[in-house]
Structure 1
Amino acid sequence: MAEHQDGTRAAYDGIVELYASMFADRLETQPFARAMIGTFAELVRATGNLRTADAGCGPGHLTAMLRDLGLDAFGFDLSPRMIDHARRAHPGLRFDEARMETLPVEDRALGGVLAHYSMIHTPPGELPALLAEQARALARGGLLLVSFFATDAAEPVRFDHKVTPAYSWPVDRFAELLAAAGLTPFARLVHDPRSERGFLDAHLLARLEPDPGAGAAGAGYSRTSE
């Protein structure tokens, strides 16, 4: 796991300013993704637990969007230079360097986790553990919105992403992995962005089902050092 993460970190560290300039306003031309994030935020607000992690936040633009949608959002990313940029660009928000496999939050702490194309570089064999970690951090009733490149192939497809190698996924297979992690997928949106690679864009919403025998979980945030 460490080898591919080291490569991903180095790749994103090297393109921070270019990446930020390309993606800061990208959702203005992506109505489907924007609508799914808005729906996610509305459902998280309805849980009463506003603490939301932008997992793999990059330059922090979506963390700011979540804040503007009424959530108590913070971001974390594998790339220290992305975190430095996010802190400068959004000084009123909290950003920390962390890995998605070891989230810097307590068990059952969050009302929501947003993973916007931040799992695409994870090799298929490592994705179940990564999803299980998101489930660990979610409070009962909490929501995960994960966006990724989708394929009509029967298996995940490795491709040469412009930054570092990535994977597209069959949507049903990805939903099965969410279910295996203890989450309930309940909404999906798949659309054709006219990608030059021929992939679809996919967005899956999943919930950690409430435990009828337990009370509401308290929200918490703990910081870990890398």
Structure 2
Amino acid sequence: MTEASYLRATRAAYDTVAVDYAELLKVELGEKPLDRAFLAAFAELVLAGGAGAAGVSGAAGVSGPAAAGAAAAGAAPVADLGCGPDRVTAHLDGLGLHVFGVDLSPAMIEVARQAHPHLRFDEGSLTDLDVADGVLGGIVAWYSIIHTPPEDLPRIFAEFHRVLRADGQLLLAFQAGDERVRLEHAYGHAIELDAYRLAPDRIAALLAAAGFVVYARTLREPSGPEKTQQAYLMARKQGTTA
């Protein structure tokens, strides 16, 4: 099957910027407490077995050594899809999750492997994950759907749904809006890449159509170099748990 042109463009752009991207963003997550809060909530829900949207029973509040113990005891694996050079994958590992990263860019994967040799990083596409059906306890797609044309997002969300177990958790982050932005320079390099700002209500509707229950959506005002609101959606795959 012929690879979509946007996938080729995305790979080429991130291969170009990989080293400088990693250097410029290495402390970004540490400067964004709200972002860390969403990741922490996601981790608690995964470690608790996806017990529900409104609250977590039993293992609520798991963190630190207890979280690590829960992961070691057999918590389902988590995929950081579109992981880039490692920052979110490593953070989730620190929260006690059994996590691995997947990225389209070989250069990004190489940077990640060098920085965190104890973690697993694989080359791969969101459109065709090399993961068996129903095995993941959670997926984080942290600004990794933003280069996908909106008309192709249902295919990606169907793939997310396929690899998650029943009640598996999903966390999306992306720039809010409704437009295509052409990127010609980023992280000190000339590139050619489209980025899409996405309407949270539209993304929530697509997730629902794919078989997810969206239970939280948040907009954060832009900070630093950001030019638009940032959106966060948390959802779970429909399963047997109410």
TM over 0.5: yes
Asked if the contact 1:183/1:208 (under 8 Å) is kept, the reply is: yes
Provide the aligned C-alpha RMSD in A: 1.5
Q: Which amino acid aligns with 1:10?
A: A
Counterpart Cα distance in 1 of 2:98 and 2:122: 15
Q: Cα deviations across residues 1-53 of structure 1 (Å, max 9, x unaligned)?
A: 62111011000000111100111210111111111011001100000733000
Q: 1:50 aligns with which of 53, 76, 80?
A: 76
Matched, 1:115 2:141: yes
1:179 aligns with 2:208: yes
Cross-structure match for 2:240: 211
Give the structure 2 partner of residue 28 of structure 1: 30
1:57-206 aligned at under 5 Å gives the runs: 57-151=83-177, 156-161=178-183, 162=186, 164-194=193-223, 198-206=227-235
CA distance in 2, matches of 1:125, 1:210: 26
8 Å CA contact 1:55–1:113 kept in 2: the answer is yes
Which range is displaced more, 163-172 or 183-192? 163-172
Aligned residue number for residue 62 of structure 2: none
For residues 181 and 225 of structure 2, what CA distance do their matches in structure 1 show? 12
Alignment of 1:4 with 2:6, yes or no, is yes
Relative to 1, partners in 2 of residues 1:23 and 1:199: Cα closer, same or farther, differing over 3 Å? same
Secondary structure, counterpart of 1:129 in structure 2: helix
Which moves more between the two structures, 6-15 or 193-202? 193-202
The equivalent of 1:18 in structure 2 is 20
Q: Offset at 1:195?
A: 6.2
Deviates more, 1:5-14 or 1:157-166: 157-166
Task: Output one character per residue of 1:134-191: Cα deviation in whole Å (capped at 9) or x when no partner.
Answer: 111100010010000002xxxx310134462100111111100110111110011211
- CA distance in structure 2 between the aligned counterparts of 1:77 and 1:62, rounded to whole angstroms: 12
Q: In 2, Cα distance between the equivalents of 1:96 and 1:203?
A: 25
C-alpha separation in 2, matches of 1:50 and 1:27: 24
Aligned residues: 208
In structure 2, what is the Cα distance between the partners aligned to 1:171 and 1:80? Answer: 30
Shift of 1:209: 2.0
Unaligned runs of 5+ in 2: 50-73
The unaligned stretches of length 5 or more in structure 1 are: 213-226
CA–CA distance in structure 2, aligned partners of residues 194 and 58 of structure 1: 21
Q: CA deviation at 1:126?
A: 0.4
Q: Which residue of 1 aligns with 2:65?
A: none
* Identity fraction in percent: 45
- What secondary structure is seen at the aligned counterpart in 2 of 1:148? strand
Distance 1:202 1:138 in 2: 22
Q: 2:42 aligns with which of 40, 43, 59?
A: 40
Tell me which stretches of 4 or more aligned residues in structure 1 moved more than 4 Å: none
Deviates more, 1:159-168 or 1:140-149: 159-168
Residue matched to 1:219: none
Letter in 2 for 1:58: G
The DSSP-based 3-state class of the residue aligned with 2:128 is coil
